[in-house]
Structure 1
Amino acid sequence: MARSHPYNFTHVLLPQLAWRRPLSVRRELSDPYLAKELLHYVWDKAAENLPLADRVAPRGLRLSWHEVAGRVAALLHLPAPQATMEAHFSALIYEEEDEPAETEAEEKRPRYFTLEATLGLSGPAGTPTVVGEWAGDVHRHLGRGPAGGQPNTADAFLEILAAVLGPLPDTTVPFMRVVRF
């Protein structure tokens, strides 16, 4: 069973914040100083009502930016999971829009994915994982993930997300030529 502190951070507070204020959160995460402050603030909020014994240090909590299938991805490196449903990583995937949004209400919500520890024996190859996606209150598993706890786990997770997202749709208007007979 997942520890409440990391679970609250990864599965409740972070996605809610990113969806409620997509433009502001993306802007804050883009600034290294603000990103660190925001992530540690949310981490502390996730433990706010928990006894001291249930709180987990944010060791390893950090953010890196990537391009995944033509989209911007904020990859969160999380403290090492100790139980199922705790995540190794989570990712906010931002779709680029033709017109920049002027207000939070117009901003498209990012997609939110997790790479979670699952039941199974750890071995030299790593720990078993599953890729999940949150969409509002719905959490669905998308299949097995790469072995957790390995140097290439983050890259393998991003590769899986690229396959899930697929290529960007072609939005160019095809050229049409009128031919008269």
Structure 2
Amino acid sequence: MTDPRPHHYRFVHRELARQVLEFGPRVATPAPDGGSLLPVVTRIWDDLGRTLPPEERLPAHGLDCRHLSVDGHPMLLVTLPTPVGATEAHFAAAVHPRGSKTVRYVTLEHAFSPFDGSPGTVLGEWTAESHLNHGQGPSPVAELFAASVVGLVTPKKRSFWRR
């Protein structure tokens, strides 16, 4: 198992999480002009790097983002540079669940099995108060992650049984 690299970890779990939770649903909704948030996300990555010792800085290669709507839920999907260490993330999503006044920040984190060390993923979420572990995540494919995010934020319908 490899420890997370400080630049990657702090970007996903601190800086981007803080920005998403501070700016709320506006982050998940595309700008009226259709502009990309990639320059902003890259600037956050680079600004964080400047606070780290040179040997801990990482290039932004692989960093990307795009707005999408999945089942009516607006989402900013951020693709991260390839994760190496445990808890580094493949993806992060700022999702504005339909009918909600708040945004949720969900991550697909790189993980290793405690039993045999094999790689896998964990679906995580940051709130203003804490980090939540939602268990095993999907393969690190953008569409699978986006579908998992929607499944997580969509209220479950209760079944009603009559006898």
Q: TM-score, normalized by length of structure 2? A: 0.80
Separation of aligned partners in 2, 1:28 and 1:76: 13
Q: Structure 1, residues 100-135: CA drift from partner, whole Å, max 9, x if none?
A: xxxxxxxx431000000001455xxxx400000111
Work out the CA distance in 2 between the residues paired with 1:65 and 1:24: 11
Report the number of matched residues: 150
Deviation at 1:24, TM superposition (A): 5.6
Q: Unaligned stretches of 5+ in structure 2?
A: 158-163
Query: Within 5 A, what are the aligned runs for 1:67-146?
Result: 67-96=69-98, 108-120=101-113, 121=117, 127-146=119-138
> Structure 1 vs Structure 2: percent identity of aligned residues?
29
Letter in 2 for 1:8: R
Larger RCO: 1 or 2 (CA < 8 Å, sep 6+): 2
**5+ residue gaps in structure 1?**
99-107, 170-181
Which one-letter code corresponds to 1:17 in the other structure?
Answer: Q
Task: Calculate the aligned-residue CA RMSD, in Å.
Answer: 2.4
Tell whether the 8 Å contact from 2:28 to 2:75 is kept in structure 1 after alignment.
no
Do the aligned partners of residues 68 and 44 (structure 1) sit closer, same or farther apart at CA in structure 2, a change above 3 Å counting?
A: same
Q: TM-score, normalised by structure 1?
A: 0.73
**What SS does the corresponding residue of 2:112 show, helix, strand or coil?**
coil
Amino acid at match of 1:129: T
Q: Distance in 2 between matches of 1:72 and 1:28?
A: 8
Which protein has the larger Cα radius of gyration, Structure 1 or Structure 2? 1
* Distance in 2, Cα, partners of 1:111 & 1:23: 8
Q: Aligned partner of 1:113: which letter? A: V
